[in-house]
Amino acid sequence: MQALAVLVVFPVLIGIASQLAFHDVRRAACAATLAAALVVATCLAASDPGGSWTWLATFLVLPLPIAFALAAVVLCYGRSRVRHKHHR
């Protein structure tokens, strides 16, 4: 359950928060990428006190949370920019 939270839930929340903080998609994507990488690396280092989790393994799993964070940014950006046609 902890792995699901670290690899999926936290990055999605980070992506949503960065889109709300920065209304520009480029800045939000950069912030979400950096924040997701930092949060995942911090959570993995904190949850492994024995030191068996290496930084190489962290870099190997980073694309998944970064993808979830960027997907959340893009989805939030697309939903906030949707223009509805007004029928006369």
**What is the residue-level pLDDT of the chain in tens, covering all 88 positions?**
788 889 999 999 999 999 999 988 999 999 999 999 999 989 888 888 787 777 888 889 999 999 999 999 999 887 655 555 666 6
Say what the pLDDT of residue 1 is.
77
* Cα 73 to Cα 60: distance, rounded to the nearest angstrom: 22
- Supply the pLDDT for residue 55: 82
Q: How confident is the model at residue 88, as a pLDDT?
A: 63
Q: Give Cα separations from 76 to 13, 14, 26, 69 (angstroms).
A: 11, 12, 13, 11
* Residues making up the chain, counted from first to last: 88
CA distance 10 to 65: 8
Q: What is the pLDDT of residue 87?
A: 64
Q: pTM for this structure? A: 0.81
